[in-house]
């Protein structure tokens, strides 16, 4: 199963493509869709949308795992991320790929085994699980890989197989 993990944002949207097979995972590719600051926000959304369409076309994922939004202190930033997430979801939906959404705590629990794990712990475990020599960059790409791993683990669990 080829899984595209997405960490949505409007300045940087991280992505990671993971191949999951028989309990083992390997990283195929990771990176980020970026938009420059101080440009018209609607233009940034258009760039994200078109780049996401292109990524979906080239990656050909079987599933997309995307992080659910967590609104912290800065509501304005959260609203902008929500808009970015909206155009990302639209591109995925138009591509006809199944979408799976995970809360940050679910990703941490799945990758580290502890829902309140630190960002560093998640990154270190991602590196170990995939037998990587270095942490993926940027951090948003590493987060997206963790989201893809979360889906790989939940979709290949014994419970998931039993429910099918």
Instruction: Indicate the helix (H) or strand (E) that contains 13.
Output: strand 12-21
Q: Between the CA atoms of 149, 150, 153 and 159, what dihedral angle is there, to the nearest 10 degrees?
A: -160
98: tokens are 């199944």
Q: DSSP assignment, residue 61?
A: -
Cis, peptide link before residue 138, omega less than 30° from 0: yes
Active-site positions read 7, 67, 140
162 burial level (CB within 10 Å; 0-12, 13-18, 19+): exposed
């Amino acid at each position: 199963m080829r899984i595209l993990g997405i960490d949505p944002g409007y300045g940087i949207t991280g992505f990671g493509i993971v191949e999951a097979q028989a309990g083992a995972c390997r990283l195929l590719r990771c990176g980020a869709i970026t938009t420059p600051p101080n440009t018209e926000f609607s233009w940034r959304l258009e760039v994200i949308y078109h780049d996401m369409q292109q990524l979906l076309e080239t990656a050909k994922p079987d599933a997309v795992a995307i992080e659910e939004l967590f609104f912290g202190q800065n509501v304005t930033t959260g609203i902008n991320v929500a808009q970015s997430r909206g155009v990302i979801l639209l591109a995925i939906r138009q591509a006809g790929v199944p979408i799976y959404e995970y809360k940050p705590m679910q990703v941490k629990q799945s990758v580290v085994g502890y829902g309140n794990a630190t960002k560093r712990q998640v990154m270190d475990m991602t590196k170990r699980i995939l037998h990587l020599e270095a942490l993926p960059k940027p951090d948003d790409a590493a987060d997206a890989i963790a989201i893809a791993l979360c889906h790989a683990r939940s979709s290949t669990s014994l419970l998931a197989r039993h429910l099918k």
